């Protein structure tokens, strides 16, 4: 007969083995870019097991971040998600890690191949796009504008408040630090950012919700999953652009 102590240990080992054997415990990648006829089947943010296969049609292109790196799938064909992933490079890690916005250079940064500007790293607030933005450090926030031409003044104000702060971008500047003494962003707060007036017409306004990130994700696939869960889809799109560029 086993002692109670030994029985408890054996039971614990059995339970641990059961947890590791369930399908949910398998490694899973995250879709960060999706285009083509199958985009509806594999929307951005979808988790796909590394051991699974994906069948794509002509015109499909899907980028998946896995624990092993980035996998860009182009149809037609059937692909195993976890095989042949491109390992994460230093530039990818630099632009996605916590605190990257404080080290980013100012100036316009162009997107890959299409000539449209894209954020130089994930941890910036886009003054021209509504949605949810995930940030690590609410004391040190940087705003980013897609156009870095002439000097412009944007206004940011908490929803439901008369308090507002003007943010002045000087000529050729794409990033500007938000003065925490003038306005401190809060976790869960929503802010209206208004662009400069154009030809006497009021400037366009966007609403941005801020979500504080408390956990550091060192693996790209875990970071992508966290952004999708929190609804930070704009940043997930930037993550997809960076991943695809690094895999090419």
Domains and CATH numbers, the chain: 125-215 (2.60.40)
**pLDDT for the residue 111:** 38
Residue 7 has pLDDT above 70, yes or no: no
pLDDT tens for each residue of 178-212: 999 999 999 999 999 999 987 767 789 999 999 99
Q: Report d(CA 71, CA 38) in Å as an integer.
A: 16
pLDDT tens for each residue of 30-72: 999 999 999 999 999 999 998 899 999 999 999 998 888 889 9
In b/e form, how buried is each residue of 171-199, taking b as 16+ CB within 10 angstroms?
eebbbbebeeeebebeeebebbbbbeeee
Q: Report d(CA 184, CA 232) in Å as an integer.
A: 20
User: What is the residue-averaged pLDDT of the chain?
Assistant: 81
Long-range contacts of 119-123 (CB under 8 A, 24+ apart): 119/144, 119/238, 120/95, 120/144, 120/174, 120/175, 121/95, 121/96, 121/238, 122/95, 122/96, 122/227, 122/235, 122/238, 122/239, 123/98, 123/99, 123/235
In the three-class reduction of DSSP (H, G, I as helix; E, B as strand; rest coil), residue 104 is classed as coil
pLDDT bin (cut points 50, 70, 90) of residue 242 is: confident
pLDDT tens for each residue of 151-187: 999 999 999 888 899 999 999 899 999 999 999 999 9
Confidence (pTM): 0.78
């Amino acid at each position: 007969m086993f002692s109670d102590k030994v029985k408890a240990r054996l039971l614990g080992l059995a339970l641990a083995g059961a947890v590791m054997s369930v399908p949910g415990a398998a490694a899973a990648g995250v879709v960060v870019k999706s285009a083509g006829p199958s985009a509806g089947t594999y929307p951005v943010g979808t988790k796909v097991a590394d051991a699974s296969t994906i069948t794509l049609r002509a015109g499909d292109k899907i980028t998946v971040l896995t624990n092993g790196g980035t996998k860009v799938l182009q149809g037609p064909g059937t692909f195993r998600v976890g095989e042949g992933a491109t390992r994460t490079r230093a530039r990818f890690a630099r632009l996605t890690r916590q605190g990257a916005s404080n080290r980013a250079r100012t100036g316009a940064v162009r997107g890959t191949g299409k000539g449209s500007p894209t954020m130089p790293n994930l941890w910036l607030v886009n003054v021209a796009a509504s949605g949810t933005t995930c940030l690590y450090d609410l004391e040190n926030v940087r705003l980013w504008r897609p156009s870095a031409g002439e000097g412009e003044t944007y206004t940011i104000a908490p929803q439901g408040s008369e308090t507002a702060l003007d943010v002045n971008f000087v000529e050729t500047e794409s990033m500007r630090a938000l003065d925490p003494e003038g306005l401190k962003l809060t976790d869960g707060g929503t802010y209206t950012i208004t662009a400069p007036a154009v030809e006497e017409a009021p400037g366009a306004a966007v609403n941005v919700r801020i979500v504080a990130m408390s956990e550091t994700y060192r693996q790209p696939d875990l970071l992508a999953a966290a952004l999708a869960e929190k609804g930070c889809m704009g940043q997930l799109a930037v993550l997809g652009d960076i991943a695809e560029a690094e895999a090419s």
